[in-house]
């Protein structure tokens, strides 16, 4: 697995803060497969794909910030910790030592291959991969692994301010879904929350030409042409013939630090409600939460980011266990 570090119980010890009369999730999660295992947590602390797309580095800081929060939430009947394997994290620290786009984009292909290998391993173990951190470039290798495992193309629902459907000009964080579609790994793609100001007419036209679907932030929240709940229902209907993957880019939420942070967007509560609606109707084959940056290379920081990611992931896990409507 090359650049992947499998975790042990000793790896998690520095993150867990025990407290008398309480049981933290980190005291119950496993780093190996047990009978109750259902989810595998994987960290991809890298910003090579973001930088290859002219973005601001910082997405490599999300994974450990997430662990610090997630492993210290309370165990609950609907999330005991025994369902969770903290599988490990990649180490791509040897990459990204240049500002040359051509080199960075070649390095993203190296990341692609490493990520696909690990996701395939997790799928063979019968677990649902939950992938945290890094840029949205990692959607492509995840989709590739899941599609090849299932031997059919996927439908993907993405909550995102950007389509990440730029031309196949070399791999980066802005074209993972375009590559997946071009290689027939992705059949139907729906994006909810696109910002009109940051998605070109050309890309929106290409989405439509390729048979995909999108709902902009403006038509939902500003012009109120469609309710968010109805947009999600339409999206799920559009994807109903295919196994689905679920994506969340942190920049879909307002005031969340990322390489493309925005003062406008979903509230954290609206996103959490949206994920509950999705999970009440479909069970995705993977969950990818990306682009968050607790600390950007510009020096900006947000100490609450890891806690936000923890809320979102725990919501996914708890909703996954709810019977379908």
* Per-residue model confidence (pLDDT) at position 325: 56
* Per-residue model confidence (pLDDT) at position 259: 84
Nearest to 26 by CA among 76, 79, 70: 70
pTM of the model: 0.97
CB 107 within 8 A of CB 3: no
Structural domains counted in the chain? 1
Give the domain range for residue 286.
Answer: 4-320
Is 182 domain-assigned?
yes
* Per-residue model confidence (pLDDT) at position 219: 98
Partners of 292 in the beta sheet?
Answer: 258
CB 56 within 8 A of CB 297: yes
In the structure encoding, which two tokens stand for residue 91, read together?
């180490």
Q: What is the pLDDT of residues 170-181, one digit of tens each?
A: 999 999 999 999
Residue 286's domain is classified under what CATH number? 3.40.800.10
CB 316 within 8 A of CB 128: no
Is 97 domain-assigned?
yes
Q: What is the pLDDT of residues 161-202, one digit of tens each?
A: 999 999 999 999 999 999 999 999 999 999 999 999 999 999
Is 325 domain-assigned?
no
Sort strands 4-6 and 84-90 into parallel, antiparallel or unpaired: antiparallel
Is 278 domain-assigned?
yes
Q: Where are the alpha helices (DSSP H) in 170-320?
A: 176-182, 201-209, 217, 228-238, 268-281, 305-320
Task: Report, as ranges of residue numbers, the positions in the chain whose pLDDT lies below 50.
Answer: 1
CA atoms 122, 127, 128, 134: torsion sign:
negative
Report the alpha-carbon distance of residue 68 to residue 322 in Å, rounded. 26
* Per-residue model confidence (pLDDT) at position 323: 72
């Amino acid at each position: 697995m090359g650049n992947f570090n499998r975790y042990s119980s000793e790896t998690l010890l520095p993150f867990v803060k025990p407290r008398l009369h309480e049981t933290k999730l980190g005291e119950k999660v496993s780093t190996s497969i047990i009978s109750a295992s259902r989810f595998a947590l994987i960290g991809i602390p890298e910003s090579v794909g973001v930088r290859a797309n002219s973005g601001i580095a910082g997405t490599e800081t999300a994974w450990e910030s997430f662990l610090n929060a997630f492993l210290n939430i309370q165990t609950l009947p609907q999330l005991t910790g025994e369902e969770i394997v903290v599988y490990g994290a990649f180490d791509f620290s040897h990459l990204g030592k240049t500002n040359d786009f051509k080199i960075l984009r070649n390095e993203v292909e190296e990341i692609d291959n490493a990520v696909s290998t690990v996701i395939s391993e997790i799928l063979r173990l019968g677990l649902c991969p939950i992938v945290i951190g890094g840029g949205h470039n990692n959607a492509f290798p995840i989709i590739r692994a899941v599609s090849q495992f299932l031997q059919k193309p996927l439908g993907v629902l993405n909550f995102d301010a950007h389509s990440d459907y730029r031309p196949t000009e070399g791999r980066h964080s802005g074209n993972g879904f375009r590559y997946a579609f071009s290689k027939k790994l992705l059949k139907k793609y729906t994006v909810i929350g696109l910002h009109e100001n940051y998605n070109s007419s050309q890309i929106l036209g290409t989405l439509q030409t390729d048979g995909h679907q999108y709902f902009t932030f403006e038509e939902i929240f500003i012009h109120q042409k469609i309710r968010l709940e109805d947009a999600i229902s339409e999206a799920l209907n559009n994807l109903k013939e295919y196994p689905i993957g679920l994506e969340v880019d942190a920049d879909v939420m307002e005031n969340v630090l990322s390489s493309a942070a925005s003062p406008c967007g979903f509230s954290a509560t609206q996103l959490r409600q949206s994920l509950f609606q999705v999970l009440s109707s479909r069970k995705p084959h993977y969950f990818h939460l990306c682009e968050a940056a607790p600390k950007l290379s510009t020096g900006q920081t947000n100490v609450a980011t890891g806690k936000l990611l923890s809320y979102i992931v725990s919501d996914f896990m708890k909703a996954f266990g709810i019977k379908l409507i």
